[in-house]
Amino acid sequence: MLGSLKGMFLTLTSAFRRPVTDQYPNKPRQLEDRFMGFPALTWDHNVGEPFCTSCMVCIRQCPTQCMSATMIDNPLQKEGKSHRRKIVDTFEINLNRCILCGICVEVCNFDAIVMSHEHEMSVYQRNDDRVDLIELLEMGKRYQEDTGWIPPSQRKKAEKEETAVEKASA
Amino acid sequence: MTTVGGSEELQSDQHVDLMLNMGPQHPSTHGVFRMLLRVDGEVVLDAEPHIGYLHRGSEKLSEGEQYNQVITLFDRLDYISNFNNEWVYCRAVERLMGLEIPERAEYIRVILGELNRIASHLLFLGTFGLDAGAMTPVMFSFRGRERIQALFEAVSGARMMHNYFHIGGLKEDVPDNFPQLMTKLLSEIWVDVEECDKLLSFNEVFVARTKGVGAIDLETAIDYGWTGPCLRACGLEYDVRRAEPYSLYDRFDFDVPVGKDGDCWDRYFVRVLEMYQSLVIIEQALKDMPPGPVMALGRRLIRPPKGDVYVRAENPRGEIGVYLVSDGTDKPYRVKVRPPSFCSLSALRHLVKGAYIADAVVILGSLDIVLGEVDR
């Protein structure tokens, strides 16, 4: 008898504490910084073009082959505004195939792709889950605004300089 | 003895056995597992497991993926304990390459692996309670599991399919507030595990449903290739973490809980005790965790030398083994997985013979199988 009474007492005490359940659609949970949502492309605000040069590294490394892209010569480079010789022309991700592994972000050499915080992406048709360059850039811009994203290579550079300054002062 | 089938009329004095189809879509089968039961009234005379419903060809798919991409497939084998699966695969490739990984990465792997063990056992506790007819424990155990998964999300960015352990270390270092997160989590998880334990372990109804049910003797269990908590419940103190210490397990002080009778209750209680031991290991690991790098490899393309390697590890469900053959290219030539659930499941026929149908559900639940791993 004792075991069941103990259990009943426990359930009784738990009746008086605050619920732990989040009422999801009404009160969404705070997302973690590292939360991996669907991949998105970032926008270089300094130049006014995407970071992506369509080098195909992420496309070759994707375990599910969910992306495709094409590149063109960068018109802004001819005008002397940009240092990128090639630029992305089209980019498509099939979010139905994406498994959110983050490999594309790891292999990108240009900080061009991020795991955004987008995750509520219900659509009416299967094909609507194929997002093109414009949508991907929009998702990326939203992510950049929300999180104050700094390109990882720039951040690393700044950190290196900081440590160098520290060493010099020490 | 005949079996009912078709539309023939039964005579009142005729004795027949009934073929009962259980699963694949059955709430007590923990995934998509189908078994054919031959029953006489309430008693199971024979059981025929049909596996392969969730077969995705993971082993064959691995041969077409690069070494770093295979980690995502291992995430999906035993989808309740993703970190442990990633870990054993990464260790296999690292052994093949003769790679030493940084100490900090090892510590983080131990902490996350043991947390994953607790999360897996908490899920078992809740669903096993459901199998035995207790509806409350699952609420308590999922609360604890959800806390652990929130931490996983903060560390790796995903609740379940993390892809966080990489060959040569980790994807990135843990966030800066990791020690604070862990202290908070540990205090909560101690309480959660204790509450779950108090709620179910010695409940008279639960004990009556599980004690003496599905008992197996040690010899038979070994013959079936059982490992992990199921084998330890039979009384043998065999744990890969102790028998062949890998990673840092020789540095930690922990007990290997064993059972006595090898019945459902013992299999359950061994797992409960294991959760406490995992917490002890995590506390020790957190205390000793050194600073430093977490990745030993600078380059991305991984090309292990020609050769083969067999690596085993203690997963929440038992001993997982990975046999990896490399032909010197950037893709593995062969990846063979020895899943613990498959061996546990192979003894199901032996266990359910002569049991009641309701007990068959409890027996299946006590084996704690994950179909993603059985079918691969």
Q: Residue ranges of the domains in chain B?
A: 2-50, 67-375
What dihedral do alpha carbons A58, A64, A67, A73 form, nearest 10°?
Answer: 40
Q: Does a structural domain hold residue A2? A: no
Tell me if chain A has a CB within 8 Å of the CB of B253.
Answer: no
Q: Which residue has the higher pLDDT, B95 or A82?
A: B95
- pLDDT of B210-227, one tens digit each? 888 888 889 999 999 899
Angle, in degrees to the nearest 10, between helices B178-200 and B264-288: 160
A33 φ, ψ (degrees, to nearest 5):
-60, -40
Cα separation, A42 vs A149, whole angstroms: 9
pLDDT, residue A157, reads 83
Spell out the alpha helix ranges (H) of chain B.
58-63, 67-75, 82-97, 103-132, 137-156, 178-200, 204-210, 218-223, 228-232, 240-243, 264-288, 340-346, 348-352, 357-367, 371-375
Q: Identify which of B20, B1, B168, B201 has the alpha carbon closest to the alpha carbon of residue B94.
A: B168
Sign for the pseudo-dihedral over CA of A31, A34, A40, A43: positive
Mean pLDDT, all residues of chain B: 87
All residues of chain A having their beta carbon less than 8 Å from the beta carbon of residue B175 are 33-34
Q: How many residues does chain A have?
A: 170
DSSP secondary structure, B130-170, as one string:
HHHT--SHHHHHHHHHHHHHHHHHHHHS-SS----EETTEE
Domain count, chain A: 1
Cα separation, A57 vs A46, whole angstroms: 24
In the structure encoding, which two tokens stand for residue A161, read together? Answer: 């300089």
Residue B1: pLDDT band (50, 70, 90) is very low
Residue B248: pLDDT band (50, 70, 90) is confident
Give the gap in angstroms from C-alpha B130 to the nearest C-alpha of chain A. Answer: 15
Helix/strand/coil for B312 = strand
pLDDT, residue B119, reads 93
Q: Which 8-state DSSP code applies to residue B295?
A: B
Residue in B72, B150, B154 nearest the CB of A101: B72
Amino acid making up residue A109 = N
Pairwise CB contact (< 8 Å): B158 & A36: yes
- pLDDT of B266-305, one tens digit each? 999 999 999 999 999 999 998 888 888 888 887 667 888 8
CATH number of the domain that A97 lies in?
Answer: 3.30.70.3270
Contact B332, B63 (CB under 8 A): yes
Q: How many CB pairs under 8 A join A and B?
A: 68
All residues of chain B having their beta carbon less than 8 Å from the beta carbon of residue A14 are 140
All residues of chain A having their beta carbon less than 8 Å from the beta carbon of residue B200 are 7
- Residue B22: left (phi > 0), alpha (psi -120 to 50), or beta? beta
Residue % of chain B over a pLDDT of 70: 96
Quick one: average pLDDT of B260-268?
Answer: 89
Residue in A4, A63, A115 nearest the CB of B203: A4
Q: Does a structural domain hold residue A119? A: yes
Per-residue pLDDT of chain A (170 residues; tens, 9 = 90+): 788 888 888 888 888 888 888 888 888 888 888 899 899 999 988 888 888 888 888 998 899 989 999 988 888 888 888 888 888 889 999 998 999 988 899 888 888 899 988 888 888 988 888 888 998 998 999 898 888 888 888 888 888 888 888 777 76
Cα separation, B118 vs B201, whole angstroms: 16
Cα separation, A8 vs B42, whole angstroms: 31
Quick one: average pLDDT of B172-183?
Answer: 89
- Domain assignment of residue A65, given as a range: 38-146
A50 φ, ψ (degrees, to nearest 5):
-70, 155
Which one of B63, B142, B203 makes the best mutation probe of the A interface by having the most chain A beta carbons within 10 Å? Answer: B203
Pairwise CB contact (< 8 Å): B136 & A7: yes
In the structure encoding, which two tokens stand for residue A40, read together? Answer: 């998105």
- Quick count: other Cβ atoms within 10 Å of Cβ B284? 18
- pLDDT of A60-106, one tens digit each? 889 998 999 998 888 888 888 888 888 888 999 999 899 998 889 98
All residues of chain A having their beta carbon less than 8 Å from the beta carbon of residue B146 are 20
Q: Which CATH number fits domain B67-375: 1.10.645.10, 1.10.10.10, 1.20.1510.10, 3.40.50.720?
A: 1.10.645.10
Q: Does a structural domain hold residue A65? A: yes
Residue in A4, A35, A100 nearest the CB of B161: A100
All residues of chain B having their beta carbon less than 8 Å from the beta carbon of residue A30 are none
| Strands of the sheet with B34-40, listed across from one edge | B2-3, B16-22, B34-40, B43-50
pLDDT, residue B5, reads 53
Residue in B136, B163, B206 nearest the CB of A101: B163
Q: Does a structural domain hold residue A151? A: no
- pLDDT of B16-29, one tens digit each? 788 888 878 777 77
Contact B159, B233 (CB under 8 A): no
